[in-house]
Structure 1
């Protein structure tokens, strides 16, 4: 028969329960941190997609101006292929010089871009041109 020393009977159950409680607390902490990082990553992805939508709109403006130097922009917001929306407004500053204003939205994020485009009209087709310089910058949204 085994002799019980110093009342060790029932010592294992509380020890196992304490270890389980510590492990559960650690797992809970890690899950909370993981969810916070996931939310931050989703917000960062939406921010980057808003910027990408604006850059796509600038590329659309450039392409449209090369096809038609009289292009004035979009009428309202247009859907982008990545899920965002954009609008383009083109202002004629001179015969070969245009100002471009772009607003882009994705999720809760809004960005503004503006730029200056210099166009050289093609000789054979008066409505087409070549963009010689295109300077743009991203601005803070209002």
Structure 2
């Protein structure tokens, strides 16, 4: 049994390159967050959105959290924020090429979730915003 335990992690690291800080962990950290997946879905469907459109589509999110999620996604290069010099201010958000490249990944995660949700532990509750997006 000890032989299997010793070779298991080494095999995963050597074959898949999966270890702390690996590409899988880095990629997941880009979409980690309660609302980021839903924001990505919304922008994949609508392409360009304004802040108040996000608020209408996600009634359970606070303004502070939405702002934080959008800023984080902008800092990570997933979305671009365009400010127009008009009164009242007009700000639009859209996916960058990097954000667009996540579309098949996010949709695959949604498919996987829908196909496997019956296997999730009893009592596991999906958040309401995930039910709307998935």
Q: TM-score, normalised by structure 1?
A: 0.28
Q: Which has the higher contact order (CA 8 A, sep 6+)?
A: 2
Larger radius of gyration: 1
Greater share of residues in helix: 2
Q: TM-score, normalised by structure 2?
A: 0.29
Greater share of residues in strand: 1
